[in-house]
Amino acid sequence: MSGRSNEAPETGPFYPRDRLWHPPALTPAYKTTVLRSPQRAPISFSNTMSEMTGPVFGPNIIGELDNDLIHNFAKPGESAQGPRIIVHGRVLDERGRPVPGVLIEFWQANAAGRYRHKKDGYLAPLDPNFGGCGRALSGEDGSYAFRTIKPGAYPWPNGVNDWRPAHIHFAIFGSGFAQRLITQMYFEGDPLIKLDPMTGGLSDRRAVEQLIAPLDMARTIPMDATAYKFDIVLRGRRSTMFENRLEGN
Amino acid sequence: MPQALDTLKETPSQTAGPYVHIGLMPNFVGIHGAHAEDLGGRMLNDKAKGQRIAIEGHVFDGTGEPLRDCVIEIWQADAAGLYPSPSETRGTADPNFAGWGRAAADPQSGLYRFETIKPGRVPFPDGRLQGPHVSLWIVARGINLGLNTRMYFSDEAEANAADPILLRIEHRTRVPTLIGTRTGDSYRFDIHLQGPDETVFFDI
Ligand SMILES: [Fe+2]
């Protein structure tokens, strides 16, 4: 199933989530949060099996073109329009250890900033050869990579003139349900980032920087595609004998 | 200066946004061909053990309007209380039951629905049994960090009364926000993001 049969599975509880590192539920500059943010404190409890376990996906669910958004929706012989890029990185935990076998799903607007979704009414054109979704499974060293086109920035109805910086959405599974995470990757040098109410919800500038992928010339393909590096850090879990202590002992 | 700790910070969360379906359930929004089928749509096959049930409801915002653009994932034990996970050390879970499901709110009505089985009981770390429950994770536009909650079962009053997590809730009037209400083989579980009936969410 997980491809790690020679390794004992980790079974310990996760480190508590540093909720101050994440955006708070209510970030009024992002108006939709006003009516969708819980107002009472979340209740904390020690992880049980329900939080420490999570679904596992094997390589059998990954199709040949799942990590190639340039071609996975294109007609035969055609390809999506826009600047060709490679996005790559590693999935690590808070201890810096690679997390293998993690399913990563990603979605994005096309090069013009338009999503293939009926709720998106932006006047920019759809690309008939671009669907905008893909997925990958992290390898033994936690690495993943996919090929796509660089998404365009787009306006959104929040303020009268708000624009989202170019970004790719990521949804990541870990080894436990408590690690489940959705985030967005931004691109180095984008001047829209500092105007963005969504990254603006992060109180620590270093947290914003953690979401910005640098141009990575070492991974570009000459005359073909540039590359951006985006490492993902999931919650770490206790795993040594000293740390696995039954509650109350 | 002491040595630096070799720890990293978790990647910060960002909202799933309004187009989350493209990534999580592309076929649901008419993007066909990229993935043969949307993940999490079928949780079991005919051979799965346990009582067939449905779980359905709405997620309401602070005005009482249902969210029509949210995606919900559930994770639960099989009928024997085992999880299909490499971290499960107590036995082997039913191979015909996935334990995990994913559903979008209906774009018109906002109703979400899962067809699953009723889970068995799972122990708390100290050995006490928890009431049967399903873990939920809710993401949507306007939700900055995915919301975790649990559904317990209205026909398990005795198990619920002994559940270590339900017992931890100081404001007892909030406990019913975590109980799905049974009608036949279906459980109704509405989630309120705000207001007097705000659902208990967990920091897990
Ligand atoms: Fe977006």
Question: With an 8 Å Cβ cutoff, are A177 and B7 in contact?
Answer: no
Q: Which of A232, A229, A245 is nearest to A96 (CA)?
A: A232
Question: With an 8 Å Cβ cutoff, are A246 and B17 in contact?
Answer: no
Residues 6+ positions from B171 with CB-CB distance below 8 Å: none
CA distance A129 to A114: 13
Query: Which residues of B fall within a CB distance of 8 Å from A42?
Result: 148, 201-203
B33 and A74 Cβ atoms separated by less than 8 Å? no
Q: β-strands B147-153, B179-183: how paired?
A: parallel
Smallest Cα distance from B182 to chain A, Å: 22
Instruction: Give the three-class secondary structure for B160.
Output: helix
CA of A123 to the centre of ligand 1 (A): 16
Q: Which of A27, A30, A34, A24 is nearest to A158 (CA)?
A: A30
Q: Per the residue annotation, which of A147, A167, A235, A237 is the catalytic one?
A: A167
Q: Kind and range of the H or E element at A226?
A: strand A226-229
> Is B51 inside a domain boundary?
yes
CA distance A190 to B124: 47
Which residues fall inside 5 Å of ion ligand 1, going by CB?
Answer: B 17
ipTM of the complex: 0.97
CA of B141 to the centre of ligand 1 (A): 10
B101-115 per-position pLDDT tens digit? 999 999 999 999 999
Domains defined along chain A, listed by start = 19-34+49-234 (2.60.130.10)
CA distance A70 to A148: 5
Tokens (6 digits) for B189: 């579980």
Question: With an 8 Å Cβ cutoff, are B10 and A94 in contact?
Answer: yes
Phi-psi region of B8 (alpha: psi -120 to 50; beta: other; left: phi over 0): beta
Range of the domain at B112: 20-192
CA of A109 to the centre of ligand 1 (A): 7
Q: β-strands A84-93, B52-57: how paired?
A: unpaired
Find which of B5, B7, B19, B20 to mutate to test the A interface (most A CBs within 10 Å of its CB). B19
Query: Which residues of B fall within a CB distance of 8 Å from A211?
Result: 11-12, 14
> Is B63 inside a domain boundary?
yes
Q: Which of B101, B102, B130, B135 is nearest to B204 (CA)?
A: B135
CA distance B114 to B93: 20
CA distance A155 to A215: 24
With a cut of 50, say whether residue B171 has pLDDT above it: yes
Query: Which residues of B fall within a CB distance of 8 Å from A133?
Result: 22-23, 26, 31, 34-35
Backbone torsions φ then ψ of B168, nearest 5 degrees? -75, -15
Residues 6+ positions from A239 with CB-CB distance below 8 Å: A10, A11, A12
> Is B32 inside a domain boundary?
yes
B43-92 per-position pLDDT tens digit? 999 999 999 999 999 999 999 999 999 999 999 999 999 999 988 889 99
Residue A79 amino acid letter: S
The pLDDT score that the predictor gives to residue A247 is: 47
CA of A167 to the centre of ligand 1 (A): 6
Q: Per the residue annotation, which of A115, A144, A186, A228 is the catalytic one?
A: A115
pLDDT tens track of chain A, all 249 residues? 344 444 455 678 999 999 999 999 999 999 999 999 999 999 999 999 999 999 999 999 999 999 999 999 999 999 999 999 999 999 999 999 999 999 999 999 999 999 999 999 999 999 999 999 999 999 999 999 999 999 999 999 999 999 999 999 999 999 999 999 999 999 999 999 999 999 999 999 999 999 999 999 999 999 999 999 999 999 999 875 454 545 443
B174-189 per-position pLDDT tens digit? 999 999 999 999 999 9
Question: With an 8 Å Cβ cutoff, are A51 and B31 in contact?
Answer: no
The pLDDT score that the predictor gives to residue B6 is: 85
pTM of the model: 0.95
A122 is catalytic: no
CA of B16 to the centre of ligand 1 (A): 8
A30 is catalytic: no
Query: In the structure, what pLDDT confidence band is assigned to residue B130 with cuts at 50, 70 and 90?
Result: very high
Number of domains in chain B: 1
Burial of B101 (0-12, 13-18, 19+ CB in 10 A): buried
> Is B10 inside a domain boundary?
no
A232 and A184 Cβ atoms separated by less than 8 Å? no
Query: Which residues of A fall within a CB distance of 8 Å from B63?
Result: 35
> Is B201 inside a domain boundary?
no
CB atoms within 10 A of CB B183: 9
The pLDDT score that the predictor gives to residue A9 is: 53
Q: Which of A245, A135, A112, A157 is nearest to B36 (CA)?
A: A135
Residue B114 amino acid letter: F
Nearest to B86 among A56, A134, A233 (CB): A56
Instruction: Give the three-class secondary structure for B182.
Output: strand
Q: Which of B83, B180, B192 is nearest to B138 (CA)?
A: B192
B80 and B91 Cβ atoms separated by less than 8 Å? yes
The pLDDT score that the predictor gives to residue A5 is: 40
Q: What is the mean pLDDT of residues B19-27?
A: 98
Give me the CATH number covering residue B102.
2.60.130.10
Nearest to B139 among A18, A134, A182 (CB): A182
CA distance A135 to A64: 10
Find which of B6, B65, B83, B145 to mutate to test the A interface (most A CBs within 10 Å of its CB). B145
Nearest to A43 among B18, B146, B168 (CB): B168
Residue-averaged pLDDT of chain B: 97
Nearest to B75 among A30, A54, A106 (CB): A54
CA distance B140 to B59: 10
> Is B142 inside a domain boundary?
yes
Smallest Cα distance from A241 to chain B, Å: 15
Query: Which residues of B fall within a CB distance of 8 Å from A115?
Result: 19, 22
Find which of A7, A11, A14, A36 to mutate to test the B interface (most B CBs within 10 Å of its CB). A36
> Is B68 inside a domain boundary?
yes
